[in-house]
Structure 1
Amino acid sequence: MKITIDENLFQHMPNLKLGIIHYTKITVSESPQMLKGRLQLFQEQLFFELDTKPLTDFPGIKEWRETWKAFGADPSRYRPSAEALFRRIKKQNYLQSVHSAVDLNTFFSLQYEIPAGIYDLSKIVGNVQLVIGEKEDGYDGLNGRFNSLHHILQLKDEQSSFGSPYVDSVSTAVTEETTDALHVLFLRPSMTREEALQLTTACGNMFTSISGGEASCFVVNQECPSVILNGTHSSNM
């Protein structure tokens, strides 16, 4: 499997970058109490911080609103997923535990103020590309409704769209049957490649410390716009 950022996107956002983590032989199950407690505590602390701090004072939220606008989307109508999480917490509508993979993905998104998505590799068909959504693009999302992806960044395989920094599709959702997964971190464009790789590696290490298996971590950006995943062996192109 080859994962590529469409080169046309760099015309709008030269520093656009993704953190890519390829997991193999993982075990997805009910989250350990440690993770549940950490996720709950983080949300409670964030609630009090949001009481006095505007959303746009969070660097990651601000950057992703700017990224949204750069590609022609309205962040006030279709919010980046990290901002949507922050707004839920501001209303004290805390996120409940789902399973280890989803809970870790949520924790990373909150901690680093970035959209993030995790996908079952067995449900992805062929190669993957990050492109901008056209009028006809959309899917049934994890939010329980059909979502248009017009002017919104999206991940597409050779069959259909399946993920975005807005909301992910139900078609590639990770379940407790998942053993191989693709984790995509929609990193802050201002990060250096070194910072991006450190963050991506930290997420991969924390994930496998809870879910077992192995993680291969990469960053794709303008200088290195693709990565090939092949079994347990992966390489940047």
Structure 2
Amino acid sequence: MTLKIDEKFSKLGLETHIGILDFEVEVGPSGPALLAAMEDGAETRMNELLGEAASTDPVIAGVRAAFKSLGKDPSRYRPSSEALTRRVLSGKALYHVNNVVDSGNLISLMTGLPIGCYDAAWIKGPIEFRVGMPGETYDGIGRGDVNLENLPVLADTSGAFGSPFSDSGRTAVGDRTKNLKFVIYGLNVDVAHVEAAAEMADMIISRFCAPD
């Protein structure tokens, strides 16, 4: 499956590296080992930031700056990695959804990069990373209609389905998901950071989500 990146990102001087990994998965509740890893990850992140705001993390700050350059207020439309980090810093645990989504959230928390977990069965044709168009929306997971104008989005031939802000219900991972498309949104960050996140994803998804 090919990926096209809108030239608007480079014209704005935004270094853009989108990592896409394909996994065969078995979806279910997160087991004790993954739940423990999530707790450890939250504690590690809190220690790293030492009471500072999530937006002071340089990776999160880079994504926020990209949103602003595109014309989207990052304090109203927070990158998903920032929202997770803010949740942990406020003393709340990470959400528990299923082993795949929980693994993605753990990787996002640890790296500061927005992560997308998508059911590959619902993605049709080539994928494009582009800027949301005026009037463009989708049904966001737990959010209702999301205004995609000026947000960076992933789209296939059926339209937008993912974003570093919030993903759509159309390609959401559920109990019947067998093939996962795991996306790392390297927006306004160095490629080495995306590569490190990909290595982490390969280890965590293979450990906690692979079929028996």
TM-score between both structures, scaled by the size of structure 1:
0.82
Q: Which amino acid aligns with 2:77?
A: Y
- Whole-Å separation in 1 of the counterparts to 2:199 and 2:113: 15
> What is the aligned partner in structure 1 of residue 98 from structure 2?
99
Deviations 1:38-63 (A, max 9, x none): 11232244446656213232111111
> What is the aligned partner in structure 2 of residue 206 from structure 1?
204
> What is the aligned partner in structure 2 of residue 148 from structure 1?
147
- Whole-Å separation in 2 of the counterparts to 1:121 and 1:22: 8
1:52 to 1:196, Cα distance in 2 relative to 1, 3 A: closer
Secondary structure of the corresponding residue to residue 84 of structure 2: helix
1:113 to 1:36, Cα distance in 2 relative to 1, 3 A: same
Query: Alignment identity in percent?
Result: 28
Q: Which amino acid aligns with 1:94?
A: A
Give the root-mean-square deviation of aligned CA atoms: 1.9
Secondary structure of the corresponding residue to residue 170 of structure 2: helix
- Whole-Å separation in 2 of the counterparts to 1:147 and 1:190: 25
1:102 to 1:46, Cα distance in 2 relative to 1, 3 A: same
> What is the aligned partner in structure 2 of residue 196 from structure 1?
194
- Whole-Å separation in 2 of the counterparts to 1:8 and 1:96: 34
Offset at 1:6? Answer: 1.6
TM-score between both structures, scaled by the size of structure 2:
0.90
> What is the aligned partner in structure 1 of residue 22 from structure 2?
22
Task: Map 1:219-230 to 2 at 5 A.
Answer: none
Task: Map 1:1-237 to 2 at 5 A.
Answer: 1-23=1-23, 25-47=24-46, 52-187=51-186, 189-192=188-191, 194-212=192-210
Offset at 1:14? Answer: 4.2
The unaligned stretches of length 5 or more in structure 1 are: 214-237
1:54 to 1:195, Cα distance in 2 relative to 1, 3 A: closer
Task: Give the length in aligned residue pairs.
Answer: 211
8 Å CA contact retained: 2:141, 2:166: yes
Name the stretch that deviates more: 199-208 or 14-23. 199-208
The unaligned stretches of length 5 or more in structure 2 are: none
Offset at 1:134? Answer: 1.2
